[in-house]
């Protein structure tokens, strides 16, 4: 008999090419109010779009290197 405590862990998978914009946008939202991000992009106007572009490029590099992973529903 086994018992599970807490919720089931999220399922993860490797990034695929179609995930790039979604994963980039998710990371941009996650780090939008990070102090380092606010320092690099001090004006709020345009910050979200620049962050999405930056993280999308990083996601593409990770994917191409075989090092990118996301949750099945792209929430993390």
From residue 31, how far is each of 6, 37, 51, 54 by CA, in Å? 27, 7, 8, 11
Q: Which two tokens stand for residue 11?
A: 């399922």
Question: Each residue of 14-61: pLDDT tens digit?
Answer: 999 899 999 999 999 999 999 998 998 888 888 889 999 999 999 999
Per-residue DSSP letter, 66:
T
Task: Note the pLDDT of residue 42.
Answer: 86
Task: Note the pLDDT of residue 3.
Answer: 65
6 in a structural domain: no
Task: Note the pLDDT of residue 46.
Answer: 85
Choose among 18, 17, 22, 28: nearest CA to 50.
28
Task: Note the pLDDT of residue 6.
Answer: 78
Structural domain of 26 = 12-71
32 in a structural domain: yes
47 in a structural domain: yes
21 in a structural domain: yes
Task: Note the pLDDT of residue 8.
Answer: 83
Number of structural domains, the chain? 1
Question: Each residue of 50-69: pLDDT tens digit?
Answer: 999 999 999 999 999 999 99
């Amino acid at each position: 008999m086994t018992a599970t405590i807490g919720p089931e862990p999220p399922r993860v998978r490797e990034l695929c090419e179609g995930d790039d914009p979604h994963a980039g946008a998710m990371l941009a939202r996650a780090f939008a109010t990070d102090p380092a991000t606010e320092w690099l992009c001090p004006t709020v106007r345009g910050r979200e779009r620049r962050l999405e572009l930056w993280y999308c490029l990083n996601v593409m590099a990770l994917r191409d290197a075989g090092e990118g992973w996301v949750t099945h529903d792209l929430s993390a």
